[in-house]
Structure formats: C-alpha cells, structure tokens
C-alpha cells in the first residue's frame, strides 16, 4: 500500500507545516478524518459514529482525543453559516464561517470572521477562502491578501493522485494549522458532494 504521509525530504521549507489529511477515521465503523505529519505521527483526528443525516456538530481532536475545536452549524440562518468554538466549550464562538452565495464570483468560497464582544455583535473579517473545492484546490488568504494556507489532492512522486480522500495541507508560519484543519472540515460540509459527513 502506498504511504499516505509525506516523506521527510519533501517537507516544505521556511517553517511551513505540511500535513496529510485522510478522509477516514482510524476507528472501525466510524467516519471522520485522520491527519498525520511528515514523520507519520498522528496530529489530528475526527471520529464520528453518525451515518445518517446532516451533522450539525463535529469535533476536531488532537492525537490523544482532546477536543480542540467544536464545529457547529448555525441554525435559522439564511446562508450556510458555521460557528467554531474553542475545545468543547460552546459558550462563545471563536470564528464564524459563512459560505459565499454570489453566483458571479465562483472562486470565492467562504469568509472567516471573529465575533465581537458579547455587547457587540459585529464581525471582523480574518480570512477569505478561494479557488475550487470540487477540484480540491483551496487557498486561504489573510486580510492583507497573503496566502496563509492551502490544500490540494496529494500526489505520489510521479504525480499520481492518491485518491479523492487524501489531501495535502501546507500551512504558513503565520497561522495555527489547527485553524485551517477546522476550515477544511467546514468546507467539506459546505461543498462536499454529499452534505453528509459520512464518506
């Protein structure tokens, strides 16, 4: 079987973080994600036993199972909007991710904002996610239009894709890789071929 994790000599330079995302849980009879680093170490995981219906809540965990982010679909919203909470504390969201609905701008996928204080419901734009999810080629830009993270289908040395469920994430030193992994999960919920979490 082909290795799904990057080999050490192919790790991106300049302190970039390169991860491999496999859209599969390591647990039997469970859907999710397995994320490994350049040495083959487990970094993040998502394990979900739900097999029917839409998932309104997904938990991104570290290798030992500690919740890092809880991703929750915002109900009663006119657009596809998700809230990202720190850990499993769903009191105050850290991010809001809103799907772009403009048919004239097909390369703009979603915007990521921070929410204001409890007395101020304003949102501060942090990132824009662009390109094409169906082609598995997405880039996240910060407010100064710098590329801070991107993901694409992972390929072998010969340029052959490892399949539609194995991705390569490259994250710049400017951003916590955990944040972008949470965004990948949200994008899959927004733009995946099935709006269900199971694969």
* 37-48 tens-digit pLDDT: 989 999 999 987
Cα–Cα distances (Å) from 158 to 58, 89, 114, 155, in that order, read 35, 44, 41, 7
Residues of the chain with pLDDT under 70: 1-14, 49-55, 76-78, 103-106, 116-123, 159-161, 193-199
CA dihedral 100, 103, 105, 110 (to 10 degrees): 10
Q: Is residue 197 part of a domain?
A: no
Q: CA–CA separation, 5 vs 38, rounded Å? A: 6
Q: Is residue 81 part of a domain?
A: yes
Q: Is residue 1 part of a domain?
A: no
Query: Is-contact 87 67, C-beta < 8 A?
Result: yes
Domain that holds residue 172: 8-188
Q: Is residue 3 part of a domain?
A: no
Q: Is residue 195 part of a domain?
A: no
Q: Is residue 64 part of a domain?
A: yes
Q: Is residue 177 part of a domain?
A: yes
Domain of 174: which CATH number? 2.40.160.200
Q: Mind listing the pLDDT tens digit for each residue in 164-198?
A: 788 999 999 878 999 999 999 999 888 875 443 33
Query: Is-contact 16 149, C-beta < 8 A?
Result: no
Q: Is residue 92 part of a domain?
A: yes
* Number of domains within the chain: 1
Tokens of 189: 């919920």
């Amino acid at each position: 079987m082909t290795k799904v994790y990057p080999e050490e000599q192919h790790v991106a330079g300049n302190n970039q973080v390169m991860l491999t995302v496999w859209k599969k849980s390591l647990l039997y009879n469970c859907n999710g994600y397995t994320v490994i680093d350049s040495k083959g170490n487990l970094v993040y995981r998502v394990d979900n036993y739900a097999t029917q219906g839409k998932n309104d809540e997904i938990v991104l965990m570290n290798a030992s199972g500690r919740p890092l982010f809880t991703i929750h679909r915002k109900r009663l919203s006119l657009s596809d909007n998700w809230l990202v909470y720190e850990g499993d504390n769903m009191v105050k969201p850290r991010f809001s991710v809103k799907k772009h609905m403009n048919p004239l701008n097909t390369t703009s996928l979603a915007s990521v904002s921070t929410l204001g204080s409890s007395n101020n419901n304003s949102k501060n734009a942090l990132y824009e996610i662009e390109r094409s999810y169906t082609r598995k080629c997405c880039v996240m830009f910060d407010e100064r239009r710098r590329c801070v993270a991107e993901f694409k289908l992972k390929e072998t040395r010969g340029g052959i894709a490892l399949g539609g469920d194995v991705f390569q994430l490259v994250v710049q030193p400017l951003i916590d890789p955990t944040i972008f992994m949470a965004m990948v999960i949200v994008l899959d919920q927004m733009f995946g071929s099935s709006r269900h979490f199971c694969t």
